Chains A and B, each alone.
Chain A
Amino acid sequence: MLKVHSRCDLSCDHCYVYQHADQTWRDRPVRMSADTVRATAKRIAEHARVHDLPVVHMVLHGGEPLLLGAAGLREVLVELRTTITPWARLDLRMQTNGVLLDEELCRLLVEYDVRVGVSFDGDRTANDRHRVFAHGGSSHDQVRQALALLRHPDHHPSYAGILCTIDIRNDPDRVYEALLAERPPRVDLLLPHATWDRPPARPDTAGTPYADWLGRIYRRWVDEGRPLSIRLFEALEPGGGGTEAFGLAPADVLVVEADGSWEQVDSLKTAYHGAADTGFDVFGHSVDEARQHPGVAARQDGVDGLCATCRSCPVVDRCGGGLYAHRWRTGSGFDNPSVYCADLLRLIDTMDTYPPVELPTRQPAELADPLATELLDDLATGYGSAHTLDLLAATQLSATRALLAGWRERSGPTAAWELLVDLDEKAPEALRAVLAHPFVRPWLVHRLTPSARSGAGPASDPLPALALAAALRAGAPATLDVPVRSGVITVPTLGSLVLPVDVDGTVEVTVLPGAVRVRGDHVAQTVVLDTGEPEAGGWRATHRVPVPGGQLLLEDGDPYRDCYGQPVAPRLERSAARAVSRTLAEAWRVVERDVPVHAAALAGGLRALVPLAPDQKRPLRSATARDAFGAIALTPVADPETVAVLLVHEWQHVKLGAALDLYDLVDPEPGHRIRVPWRPDPRPPEGVLQGVYAHLAVTRVWQARAAAGRPAHGDAVAYAARFLTWTREGADALLAGRSLTAAGERFVGRMRQALEETAAGPG
């Protein structure tokens, strides 16, 4: 947690930073300096590198982080992303009061993939009981405007949720309804910070008013089918997993204060002045040194680190002793139960005795994994943040590397494999670009499939072509034997070389600067690549379509593009390729016009487009292959408005297919079929799931067109209504059946929720 700004524009009387025991904020600099941000980023990058961390979670906090302003915030984000991302995935979050949030800041947060939690206490009465300006004025309208901005489709990827500090004087129903109305991806309900020295307000010393208040919301939440994620309840369920406030997981939070001090978790500020101090700072001490501080180390022991009362409690695995700060009592320190112990016990009892649905006795693996629920919840919005798409792409690349390693195990050592290994070390980006090509995995899957293996000879070995492509990309000199099929050498991602003789077998290829030399029984030639002349020396460079953020391959040469279960088009003539490129670039602009979030997602992941063979009976076709992540196939169509819809539709399949590689959302029950509104014959559940997910995105395209009211889209309202109905009925059919796993039910339930938000429109 980074305290990037130590002052706040609100003056909330329940704030633990300014209003409780610790007053160290008075001696801190107003904002974190550039030097401190840089030193912090270096410390964290160093820690990620040394410990080979796959991910670092970071929260920008305050005070109020948005007081940095857009320029100041951008400087911080650039420093963090530049320094840490080379070593670990950086999961960036921000906690804000939202008052200063505007469109410029929202765009910045989306650009840097920062997910934002907004502090908001519910209806106007509840919120303004504490969340007011120094002059006593209400912040309610400003915060609601911030939440509306985050709900907008352009900014939705940055909408993480709402943090609500409860007050038992508020009406729980009105608070719940106010939170629900903001349509947050997640809500966390926070007990007001208190200790045994400074106990929470209770009208009756013997009662459990906090459990009663939360229990009211819990029962309603359950009765209404859990319409949104409420972290407090989910954390307290059996197997609910750890949070900072509950559970027995080791504490893994360190704070960097505005002056660069390493501190323990900042809720300790409620205990006593200086409670969070470690005496360390980022300039002189590493993360490892800070985490060995006795205060941090004491929180790594799980149940053994709790007081005797907690250790003997039957629900200790649920509450984990409550928030560490809430255990403080002068004299016995933190060796006490939570000051909310009676409330937590009662709330857990309420949750255990109010099951309107039969809860699973064992948490499914996907739902017990916070990374999995986060990824699936994000995809279930119908969009998917840049971070989620990066993660999906990384898992696909990893799977391809695993298949490559599997192929090496079968084929034994070869010169091509040695070259790949060498390039992996010396030119990793070149190899990565080749292995991320959508048609490498179909190639490897085909070769590894038992039925294909029997006919596999040297000419079918995929490794030489991959090594040749990577060496060319890296500009690395190399000589190796490469397969030739019908006189053509395929060089994935770059093109293909047509030899003057139509032969099958292998030829020796030498990589030269900007050229290749080919030697074989019937051929000896040197071909200069990319001369600017079409097909000079037999070199057919893959067509490239300029699109926002880079180039898209118009792939009509790679033989393993033929993975869509329908004929692909042969090599396009130059004029035809130019026409397809123009349509595609224009379609991309149309997607950006209609649903910019989807355009950003395409820019983040779409690598190749495959022309399908024209068929007069079915002129409009598009397809996605589960094994070819990052590619879409479609029939060349002249109308960019139509192509835009197909791109959005198919990209949904690409995302969901990659998620299904990781998680089981549908039970494997052979033969089960579900009736759907978009075609007459019943479909397998996974097909229905794919259909619903695609139609959700297409609904949004037509809704955007309907809202724009262009004369060319006079039928947009009708299309929007049709796709909305298809999506709704398809999702309901899935939820009504028995074909979804627990993770699948959660996914479709959230998709259904996103659909209703879509139906209601933004704002």
Chain B
Amino acid sequence: MDHTPTRTPRPHLDDLTRSLRTPLERVAVEHADLVEMIRRRVVAARPAASDTVAVAAFNSSI
């Protein structure tokens, strides 16, 4: 049995840089996986992961 905690999938560097060349209008269609991955990693996962340092305030979070 794998007890490893579930992670949100991470975006691939190449996908991120490639999407910059896609017209904004087509990003959601041509990079649907990336858009969803970013949403899950940046928006959805952040509040739940209490140990993630979203704010690195001097002498408070580190």
Q: Say yes or no: B16 contacts A684, CB within 8 Å.
A: no
Q: Say yes or no: A54 contacts B51, CB within 8 Å.
A: no
Decide: A394 near B61, CB < 8 A? Known: A406-B35, A684-B51, A686-B53.
no
Q: How far is the CB of A667 from chain B (nearest CB, A)?
A: 7
Q: Which residue of B lies closest to A401 (CB)?
A: B27
Interface residue B62 (Cβ < 8 Å from any Cβ of A): yes
Interface residue B55 (Cβ < 8 Å from any Cβ of A): yes
Decide: A646 near B16, CB < 8 A? Known: A399-B42, A424-B23.
no
Q: Say yes or no: A668 contacts B49, CB within 8 Å.
A: yes
Q: Could you say which of B12, B19, B34 has the most chain A C-beta atoms within 10 Å of its C-beta?
A: B19
Q: How far is the CB of B35 from chain A (nearest CB, A)?
A: 5
Contacting chain B: which of A378-386, A495-503, A543-551, A621-629?
A: A621-629
Residues of B within 8 A of A622 (CB): 57-58
- CB proximity to B under 8 Å, residues A637-652: 646, 649-650
Q: Say yes or no: B13 contacts A402, CB within 8 Å.
A: no
Contact with B along A663-690 (1 / 0, CB 8 A): 1101111111000001100011111101
Complexed CA–CA distance, A108 and B62 (Å): 37
Residues of B within 8 A of A667 (CB): 4-5
Interface residue A564 (Cβ < 8 Å from any Cβ of B): yes
Complexed CA–CA distance, A566 and B53 (Å): 15
Q: Say yes or no: A372 contacts B42, CB within 8 Å.
A: no
Complexed CA–CA distance, A324 and B32 (Å): 40
Q: How far is the CB of A586 from chain B (nearest CB, A)?
A: 20
Interface residues in B, total, Cβ within 8 A: 45
Q: Which residue of A lies closest to B21 (CB)?
A: A52
Complexed CA–CA distance, A445 and B42 (Å): 7
Decide: A627 near B54, CB < 8 A? Known: A55-B17, A687-B62.
yes
Give the contacting residue for A399; candidates B11, B18, B23, B58; CB below 8 A: B11
Complexed CA–CA distance, A605 and B13 (Å): 19
Complexed CA–CA distance, A617 and B52 (Å): 27
Q: Say yes or no: B16 contacts A394, CB within 8 Å.
A: yes
Residues of A within 8 A of B25 (CB): 421, 424
Interface residue A733 (Cβ < 8 Å from any Cβ of B): no
Interface residue A657 (Cβ < 8 Å from any Cβ of B): yes
Complexed CA–CA distance, A459 and B7 (Å): 35
Interface residue A759 (Cβ < 8 Å from any Cβ of B): no
Complexed CA–CA distance, A563 and B13 (Å): 26
Q: How far is the CB of B42 from chain A (nearest CB, A)?
A: 6
Q: Say yes or no: A54 contacts B17, CB within 8 Å.
A: yes
Residues of B within 8 A of A399 (CB): 11, 16, 38, 42
- CB proximity to B under 8 Å, residues A385-412: 391, 394-395, 397-399, 401-406, 408-409
Q: Could you say which of A394, A626, A683 has the most chain B C-beta atoms within 10 Å of its C-beta?
A: A626
Residues of B within 8 A of A666 (CB): 51
Chain A interface size band reads: 35 or more
Q: Say yes or no: B5 contacts A405, CB within 8 Å.
A: no
- CB proximity to A under 8 Å, residues B1-50: 4-7, 10-14, 16-21, 23-25, 27-28, 31, 34-36, 38-39, 41-43, 46-47, 49-50
Decide: A690 near B56, CB < 8 A? Known: A404-B24, A405-B24.
yes
Q: Say yes or no: A684 contacts B24, CB within 8 Å.
A: no
Q: Say yes or no: A375 contacts B13, CB within 8 Å.
A: yes
Q: How far is the CB of A559 from chain B (nearest CB, A)?
A: 17
Complexed CA–CA distance, A253 and B39 (Å): 37
Q: Say yes or no: A409 contacts B61, CB within 8 Å.
A: no
Q: Which residue of B lies closest to A421 (CB)?
A: B25
Residues of A within 8 A of B10 (CB): 365, 662-664
Complexed CA–CA distance, A670 and B5 (Å): 9
Q: Say yes or no: A668 contacts B31, CB within 8 Å.
A: no
Q: Could you say which of B10, B36, B41, B47 has the most chain A C-beta atoms within 10 Å of its C-beta?
A: B10
Decide: A449 near B13, CB < 8 A? Known: A401-B20, A624-B56, A687-B62.
no
Complexed CA–CA distance, A399 and B46 (Å): 15
Complexed CA–CA distance, A371 and B15 (Å): 12
Residues of B within 8 A of A372 (CB): 13
Residues of A within 8 A of B11 (CB): 395, 399, 662
Interface residue A661 (Cβ < 8 Å from any Cβ of B): yes
Q: Say yes or no: B47 contacts A449, CB within 8 Å.
A: yes
Q: Which residue of A lies closest to B27 (CB)?
A: A405
Q: Say yes or no: B43 contacts A402, CB within 8 Å.
A: no
Q: Which residue of B lies closest to A684 (CB)?
A: B51
Interface residue A77 (Cβ < 8 Å from any Cβ of B): no
Complexed CA–CA distance, A424 and B21 (Å): 11
Q: Say yes or no: A403 contacts B38, CB within 8 Å.
A: yes
- CB proximity to B under 8 Å, residues A173-223: none
Interface residue A448 (Cβ < 8 Å from any Cβ of B): yes
Residues of B within 8 A of A397 (CB): 20
Complexed CA–CA distance, A623 and B23 (Å): 34
Q: Say yes or no: B54 contacts A668, CB within 8 Å.
A: no
Decide: A403 near B39, CB < 8 A? Known: A421-B24, A424-B24, A653-B56.
yes
Residues of A within 8 A of B24 (CB): 401, 404-405, 420-421, 424, 431
Residues of A within 8 A of B58 (CB): 620-623, 646, 649-650
Q: How far is the CB of A686 from chain B (nearest CB, A)?
A: 5
Decide: A54 near B57, CB < 8 A? Known: A403-B38, A684-B51, A691-B62.
no
Q: Could you say which of B4, B35, B46, B62 has the most chain A C-beta atoms within 10 Å of its C-beta?
A: B62
Q: How far is the CB of B9 from chain A (nearest CB, A)?
A: 10
| Known pairs A399-B38, A403-B39, A406-B38 / 20 extra A-B pairs, C-beta < 8 Å | A52-B18, A391-B17, A394-B16, A395-B13, A398-B16, A399-B42, A401-B27, A406-B28, A421-B23, A421-B25, A424-B23, A441-B42, A622-B57, A623-B57, A624-B55, A626-B55, A667-B4, A670-B51, A678-B62, A688-B62
Q: List 14 A-B contacts (CB under 8 A).
A: A54-B17, A54-B18, A399-B11, A402-B31, A405-B28, A445-B43, A622-B58, A625-B56, A666-B51, A669-B5, A678-B59, A686-B53, A690-B56, A690-B61
4 nearest A-B residue pairs (beta carbon): A691-B62, A653-B56, A684-B51, A623-B57
